[in-house]
């Protein structure tokens, strides 16, 4: 499973880093206007809920990769076989 824990400390692309920051900031918009303790608690509960949802999602996978990757792989494999 890919996590931010394994992301290097140096960013090779500002676009990726910017997208990660924007996604996080957009998820905490409501919490940013609360007191610091309440804001941190809201962020913690949102992140914990997201982790549980993602864990439930990937526990249903039959392979070591997700269903979207599998669909792209199957399409590319089919196109490659049909092309030869």
Tokens of 52: 């549980």
pLDDT score at 53:
93
Binning pLDDT at 50, 70 and 90, where does residue 63 land?
Answer: confident
Distance, CA of 18 to CA of 25 (rounded, Å): 10
Q: pLDDT tens across 5-61, in order?
A: 666 667 667 777 788 888 888 888 888 899 999 999 999 999 999 999 989 988 887
pLDDT score at 76:
87
1 closest CA partner among 47, 76, 64:
64
Note the pTM of the prediction, 2 decimals: 0.57
Distance, CA of 71 to CA of 84 (rounded, Å): 20
């Amino acid at each position: 499973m890919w996590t931010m824990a394994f992301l290097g400390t140096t960013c090779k692309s500002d676009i990726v880093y910017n997208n990660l920051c924007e996604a996080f900031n957009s998820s905490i918009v409501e919490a940013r206007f609360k007191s610091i303790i309440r804001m941190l608690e809201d962020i913690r509960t949102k992140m914990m809920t997201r982790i549980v949802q993602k864990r439930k999602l990937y526990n249903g996978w039959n392979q070591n990769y997700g269903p979207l990757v599998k669909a792209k792989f199957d399409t590319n494999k089919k196109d490659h076989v049909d092309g030869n």
